[in-house]
Structure 1
């Protein structure tokens, strides 16, 4: 679902990338049929794609907000990725004046690297690469400026987007022209890749932690009490009510840390202390924390949960 074109020359570098992302949700066999129609060129417009997806009972999520090319000052980076069941595979190109590296990653692990000096490199599916290659040959001239390369890339992007919905009409184009020889380019690209992959590794770890925390939040939220017995009143001082937690109940703070377990005391508040007595049963009914006998509302600044 991508088209990324890179020109690596002796005076600079140009990179263009579309913004389309398409998610396919449905039966695997039907998905493969739809992808086959899309990548063979049978489907030529968004409308045809949506219609064919409906026929195959496939839900689509189409966006044009995926930034596939980046400008890292003296280096341009383009990336296409494929999400598998358990891992994401990435193919990147790091390019600058007089040099480039193509890098294949699984997760944040580098699997393969190919290098070169000057070239035109195209990332995409078979159809988009074929169309882009023909259009580039049509417009290319022997002596050409970086700005003209940028214009050609823009024309090609628009024409490929008109031929297949796997490429968006929206695109990004970057032009850089740092002065360096091939040896300097290779060293700059090497250090850039090391730094960029470390950032990817850090991002992946942060994402993993966020997912673990979200999973824990969901698990803990399922334990929050919405009904049942909480405990009994042990003491009342003004509007402060001391309650002993009953079996199967514990109190947690906002970080899900246990503050009190069954048999421990916690403190609540009540607006009318005269309406309760020592020994009264505290319950949650219809998600309302209250005194069982008269439904007088209580409040507390902790989370009441069922014990694990």
Structure 2
């Protein structure tokens, strides 16, 4: 899991997601230890991640080109974070449009809508550390504003998260829409 953050407003929606994917190889208990440290926020840089992985004998493959946010047709923004545990893949997906959003969870190809919401909300998907960082940024810097203000805050949040945890890439995708779409049937679209 990394970081997907969105603002759903009355005049539009904006969403950003980082592009990092990390694959681990090695002893399962060592991988679990490394993931716990990484997603718990104790590994801040790529160099520290590589050093810690080497210390405990885990091979890592980092890529920063995974698309986690896409602008789908008809004004629906889709973002997702994925967690792999053994052969099981769990995906949390966010659908956003002007004025409303839906969060769905996909486990082993079965989708279940877990939350629906309306404007004016920020929604954050990610690991505990990235969610904490994003929520802190929102609480400290958001006092209402325009969709453009929300967009600037999201970009700042993505930059801050990338500077304090190696689980987030420095590059990210940012999309927006000013269309209002009925999300009842949009939940079939996705990236997983």
Q: Compute the TM-score of the two structures, normalised by the length of structure 2.
A: 0.92
Contact residue 10 and residue 98 of structure 2 kept, 8 A = yes
> Unaligned regions of 5+ residues in structure 1, if any?
201-308
Preserved contact between residue 15 and residue 174 of structure 1 (Cα < 8 Å): yes
Deviations 1:36-83 (A, max 9, x none): 221222211110110000000000000000100010141100111122
1:220 maps to what in 2? none
- Matched residue, 2:70: 70
CA distance in 1, matches of 2:174, 2:132: 20
Residue equivalent to 1:50: 50
Q: CA deviation at 1:136?
A: 1.8
Q: Say if 2:102 and 2:113, in contact at 8 Å, map to a contact too.
A: no
For the pair 1:189 / 2:191, whether they are aligned, the reply is no
Aligned 8 A contact 1:146 1:175 in 2: no
CA shift at 1:164, angstroms?
0.5
Which residue among 131, 134, 144 is the counterpart of 1:132? Answer: 134
How far 1:145 moved relative to its partner?
Answer: 1.6
Match of residue 39 from structure 2: 39
Distance across 2 between alignment mates of 1:12 and 1:115: 17
Larger radius of gyration: 1
Secondary structure of the residue aligned to 1:17 is: strand
Deviations 1:178-235 (A, max 9, x none): 1x4xxxx4xx2122223x26x97xxxxxxxxxxxxxxxxxxxxxxxxxxxxxxxxxxx
Query: Separation in 2 of the partners of 1:34 and 1:113?
Result: 29
Q: CA deviation at 1:162?
A: 0.4
How far residue 141 of structure 1 moved from its aligned partner, in angstroms, is 2.4
- Structure 2 partner of 1:141: 143
In the TM superposition, residue 87 of structure 1 has moved relative to its aligned partner by 3.3
- TM-superposition CA deviations, 1:76-113 (whole Å, max 9, x none): 00111122333322110111011111001123321343
1:19-168 alignment, distance < 5 Å: 19-73=19-73, 74-118=75-119, 119-142=121-144, 144-168=145-169
The separation in 2 between residues aligned to 1:126 and 1:152, in whole angstroms, is 19
TM-score (norm: length of structure 1): 0.59
Partner of 2:176: 175
Q: CA RMSD in A?
A: 1.7
